[in-house]
């Protein structure tokens, strides 16, 4: 099992799955789910190494080193801590 934590909540999810739905349950806003609108931008405070590599859409978005789009990444295993 993998885990996503925020300041005051945490949820578990299966290894290797997209994080979008779990992030949404934690309060991250999602809209297009296609890496276009940018509303799902999250800051990864811990565990960036546990996420899949950045997608082409994320590269095009010009994210900071510690930022990802919640609709674009999968968690390999382990924990991440996010802020949004
Ligand atoms: S929901 Fe639009 S970029 Fe992620």
In whole angstroms, what is the distance from residue 52 CA to residue 79 CA? 13
Q: What is the pLDDT of residue 41?
A: 98
Give pLDDT tens digits for 55-77: 999 999 999 999 999 999 999 99
Rounded to whole angstroms, what are the CA distances from 3 to 7, 10, 36, 39?
13, 7, 26, 22
What domain range includes position 17? 2-83
- What's the gap in Å between 18 CA and the centre of ligand 1? 13
78 in contact with ligand 1, CB cutoff 6 A = no
66 in contact with ligand 1, CB cutoff 6 A = no
Average pLDDT, the chain: 97
Total domains in the chain come to 1
Nearest to 23 by CA among 66, 80, 64: 80
Task: For residue 16, give the CATH number of its domain.
Answer: 3.10.20.30
- What's the gap in Å between 20 CA and the centre of ligand 1? 9
What's 55's DSSP letter? P
Quick one: tokens of 83?
A: 């802020």
């Amino acid at each position: 099992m993998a885990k996503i934590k925020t300041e005051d909540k945490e949820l578990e999810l299966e290894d290797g799955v997209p994080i979008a739905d779990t992030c949404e349950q934690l309060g991250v806003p999602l809209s297009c789910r296609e890496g276009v609108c940018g509303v799902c931008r999250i800051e990864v405070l811990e565990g960036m190494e546990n996420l899949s590599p950045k997608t082409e859409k994320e590269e095009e978005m010009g994210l900071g080193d510690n930022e990802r789009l919640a609709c674009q990444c999968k968690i390999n295993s382990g924990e991440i801590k996010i802020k949004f």
